[in-house]
Structure 1
Amino acid sequence: MHPWIEHVHLALIPLANEKDANYMKAYLRGQFEFYGIKSGPRREALKPLFSKKSFPGAVEIPELVDELWSKPQREYQMVAVDMLIKSKTQLPVEVLSSVERWITTKSWWDTVDMLATHVVGSLFNRYPEQTAQYISKWRRSENTWLRRTALLYQLKYKTNTDVEMLSVIILENRSDSEFFIQKAIGWMLREYSKTDANWVVSFIEQHSIEGLAKREGLKWLNRKG
């Protein structure tokens, strides 16, 4: 075990809570083991390890994330995601292949959405050509989580959103009844409605977006109205 991860382990163990662990495991449909540590206490306990003095260099991050990803307790994957978000502006373009592996390994919305909206979103801004090659592959993938990532990577782009690309990816996926795809379409439309409400309303009407995607897409506008 890498020394930094050993320190993570030693910081988390005292916070383990069996009752919360059982609840968390049930909430994520029994897919993962948990120590039962909520995000606030986890991050507080690891503050010293995330300080400038103790935090690993960007070159080490992918290897450390791989090690954290291999551990059974879900808290380790969440630590890995926090590491990636903290270092997202220093990550090299070569990390894209690893990001694809993390998206498709131990996949669920709690890790995938953070990787999509923070890590992939940042990588696209810094390395648009290389990241676009992955997005092009992901949006047509049979893997739901890769397609969800392709839908969500622009979530925080606001006025920098490539609406033409967003339109194409949504239309490619609109007929997929998978909950996590429809939810992602709606979430992306809802978030972009805060930037360009008219575009979102027009897009939904023009392309007959229905069901969950439409409800989610118009939620902010309906609440605002």
Structure 2
Amino acid sequence: MDESRALVVAVRSGLAAAGDQRKAPEMQRYMRSELPFRGVASPERTALAKELFAAHPLPDETALRTAALTLWREAAYREERYLAIAMTGHRAYRAWQTPALLPLYEEMIVTGAWWDYVDELANRRIGPLLRGFPAELTPVMHAWATEEDRWKRRTSIICQLSFKEATDTALLTAAIEANLHDRDFFIRKGIGWALRQFARTEPGWVLAFVDAHPGLSPLSVREAVKHL
């Protein structure tokens, strides 16, 4: 059995052993998930991931992509997808975080199509790629801001949440303006979240932006100025 398959098998077995079927239905209801849950809460998943990723190291980027996509595409339980995402961010694989992994993350965003997957990918995978490879990723985020897929648009809006002074305000502006009149809750909430987070660093910029964009939804404005 190759390393990718061994890790996939270990993840499935580990989740099955750690699962709590008393918790699983409520977790599924809360997340409005078509996939069932094993009933493994976040702290237990984190501990399990640490153990399994150490016990089953992957030799190269191809093996990482294979293992992550196998877990993702063949998932029978939602936690399998959570661990697929966690696997891609494992510290041992930091050197492989290049634009070559963008198609993997794009597939997860589009097919995952829900906030629990997308927000983690936007902030902890796409964001670091944008920071590390701005020449390659900035045009992609501009393009995603006008995509039909709402989750790619949300990603373009919130991918800079942790950037602080390094925030590309031209990208942030373009992503928000491209979605200014979209009435989708997750888009409006994402706009407010992105502005609220940047307001911790540049409150004056955010206030001026809100004043200059009367088309912002009330939800976006409330979120943007929440701590100002």
TM-score of the aligned structures, taking structure 2 as reference length? 0.90
Instruction: Select 1:65's aligned residue among 56, 68, 71.
Output: 68
Q: Where do residues 54-203 of structure 1 align in structure 2 (5 Å cutoff)?
A: 54-59=56-61, 60-70=63-73, 71-86=75-90, 87-203=93-209
- 1:58, distance to aligned residue in structure 2 (A): 4.6
- 1:89, distance to aligned residue in structure 2 (A): 4.8
Q: 1:58 to 1:211 in 2, by over 3 A?
A: farther
Structure 1 unaligned segments of length 5 or more: list them. none
Residue 24 (structure 1) aligned with residue 30 (structure 2): no
Give the whole-Å Cα distance in 1 for the aligned partners of 2:168 and 2:97: 23
Identity over the aligned pairs, expressed in percent? 30
Number of aligned positions between the proteins: 220
Contact 1:88 1:123 in 2 (8 A): no
Runs of 4+ in 1 over 6 A off after TM superposition: none
Give the whole-Å Cα distance in 1 for the aligned partners of 2:46 and 2:148: 34
Instruction: Select 2:220's aligned residue among 198, 206, 213.
Output: 213
CA-to-aligned-CA distance 1:148-186 (integer Å, 9 cap, x gap): 011011111000001122112111111000000001001
Contact 1:58 1:91 in 2 (8 A): no
Q: 1:218 to 1:88 in 2, by over 3 A?
A: farther
Structure 2 unaligned segments of length 5 or more: list them. none
Contact 2:188 2:217 in 1 (8 A): no
Give the whole-Å Cα distance in 1 for the aligned partners of 2:218 and 2:12: 44
- 1:25, distance to aligned residue in structure 2 (A): 1.1
Q: 1:113 to 1:189 in 2, by over 3 A?
A: same
- 1:220, distance to aligned residue in structure 2 (A): 2.5
TM-score of the aligned structures, taking structure 1 as reference length? 0.91
How large is the RMSD of aligned CA atoms in angstroms?
A: 1.6
Give the whole-Å Cα distance in 2 for the aligned partners of 1:120 and 1:203: 24
